[in-house]
Chains A and B, each alone.
Chain A
Amino acid sequence: MGSGLSPDKRTVGRQFPPRMTRKTLRAFFYAQLLTVAACSNQGLEPVRRESTVMGTFVSVTIFDEHVRREFAQAMIDSVFEEMKRIESIATDYADSSDIGQVNAHAGIETVSVSKEIARLVEESILYSETSLGAFDITVGPLVHSWDFLSDSPRVLSRAELNGLLPLVNYRNIVWENDKVFLKKKGMRLDLGAIAKGYAVDRAIALLKRRGLTNVIVDLGGNLGVSWDGTRLLDSTRATIFIRHPRRDGEMFGHFEVGTSGVSTSGDYQRYFTSGGVRYHHILDPHTGEPARDVVSVTIVAGDATKADALSTTVFVLGREKGMSLIEDLKDVEGMIIHEQGDTLGYMLSSGLKGRFVWGEPRD
């Protein structure tokens, strides 16, 4: 009975597929799987867009998985909008902005500003006090006169600088609640050393509120890295490359970071040369001239506002005082690049030692 269910003798002797072929087949099966994996990986590609805002370029990259591209694109649009809004209240080049209003009424009357501008001014004064004036948002008259953005910038004479320096002093900012007053006529606030970092932090916060937590925002080298480590990639940290201060297009080195703000101030970012001397945009508020001790400073901090303000502060303070400030501050690390004979040397804070890799990346 049941003869119909018994195996056919012909197929018992010759299994299909034969054993060797089965091995081969399995190999092909895995090869196909790999191919499929490689294909599906494309759906996980980060969404990235660039634009220009606040006088520099901006890029936003969203690495979060399982996010619709349309949603990511719309979020990037709102980041660009937010940055334009911050530019419109923080710029000193428009009388209509909060800062423009404060400057226009310097020495005349108190001006009401938005809460966030008031907070930024307050935070700036804090950095001024910490650094004994190496960081100072009242450098406006100097920045305006040097005018590194003009087509034909020129070197200011000592007499001109001496005329401007009395207008530069954060102690002459009077602020209370949301009101700001500059004591002397001709004083000018310039948030150029902190506003970009603030815009990056706002962008990161905006994206986070909408559930995007694996993000890099780059506003002219002011980086905001948000990295929650849940992304199913090989890396739970982002690699940050530092531009070579003297070789265009090359990298000086790199290190990895988790969630943090990173910012670099360098003498190569905005400068002109005259009589063989480099005049760059990072001015020492005490002398009115470009700060001379270092070539560039990169700061890694808890947020981008802090990193932005501190990179300028440490640049002006110079090697010794700058590094000691970095070491004094909690959750702040930094790297100072300086001239050493014909070449460049660098100093790392204790937390960056062993993490920084010098030289061009190998792909």
Chain B
Amino acid sequence: MIQSLTLPDKILLLLLSTATIASYFLVEIGSDPGSTVLVEVDGQAVYRADLHRESSFVVQGARGELAIEVRNGSVSVTRADCPNHICVRMGRKSRNGDIIVCVPNKTIIHIGGGTADGVRAVTG
């Protein structure tokens, strides 16, 4: 079939395939906000980190410090100045839209810029 094509056909085909393949990459970039970790204290963004680069840092929450660790594409709170340590017990989060919350420290850690995926909610 390829043999039956003229040169302009082939050029057109090549252009179209290039455009199609390129557009898929563009969509990929557009839908993935970059897998970032964003730490918010009382509504203010205080720290931004790359989810795929190992790091550990300490942020000042509303009531004390939180030690946050980014490792293997996931984020967790390793230590926090709060009474119940619910944020520490929430464990490691890695999926887009996941959040870790420390209420006493008014701190929210978002993954991927905090966009929600699908129509779901969690109770409990």
Chain A residues close to B by CB (< 8 Å): 14, 16-18, 20-21, 24-25, 28, 31-32, 35, 38-39, 42, 45-46, 48-52, 55-57, 59, 61, 63, 149-151, 216, 218, 221-223, 225, 233, 235, 237-243, 245, 248-249, 251-252, 254, 262-264, 266, 269-270, 272, 296, 298
Contacts and interface: CB of A to CB of B under 8 A. Distances in A.
B63 to A, nearest CB: 10
Nearest to A150: B83
Contacts of A221: 122-124
A25 B119 CA distance: 36
B16 A25 contact: yes
A249 B20 contact: no
Given A28-B16, A270-B84, A242 B108 contact: no
A46 B91 CA distance: 26
Interface string B73-85: 0000000000110
29 contacts: A16-B8, A20-B1, A21-B5, A21-B9, A21-B12, A28-B16, A28-B20, A45-B115, A46-B119, A49-B114, A50-B110, A51-B108, A52-B42, A61-B116, A61-B121, A218-B123, A221-B122, A222-B123, A238-B119, A238-B121, A239-B119, A239-B120, A240-B122, A241-B122, A241-B123, A242-B122, A248-B89, A262-B123, A298-B124
Instruction: Across the A-B interface, give the 5 residue pairs with the lowest CB-CB distance, nearest first.
Output: A243-B124, A249-B91, A264-B124, A57-B101, A264-B123
B10 to A, nearest CB: 9
Interface of B: 1, 4-6, 8-9, 12-13, 16-17, 19-20, 23-24, 26-27, 30-31, 40, 42-43, 83-84, 89-93, 99, 101, 103, 106, 108, 110, 114-116, 118-124
Contact of B13 (A21, A240, A263): A21
Contact of A18 (B9, B30, B114, B118): B9
A51 B121 contact: no
Given A17-B9, A241-B121, 4 more contacts: A20-B4, A35-B24, A57-B99, A245-B124
A47 B43 CA distance: 16
Contact of A57 (B6, B108, B123): B108
Residue of B92, B99, B122 with highest tally of chain A CB at under 10 A: B122
A272 B83 CA distance: 10
A195 to B, nearest CB: 16
Given A52-B103, A55-B103, A249-B90, A218 B13 contact: no
B123 A223 contact: yes
A262 B120 CA distance: 13
B103 to A, nearest CB: 6
Contacts of A39: 26-27, 30
A240 B120 contact: yes
Contacts of B118: 239
A298 B124 CA distance: 8
A263 B123 contact: yes
Nearest to A57: B101
Contacts of A46: 115-116, 119
Contacts of B5: 18, 20-21
B119 A242 contact: no
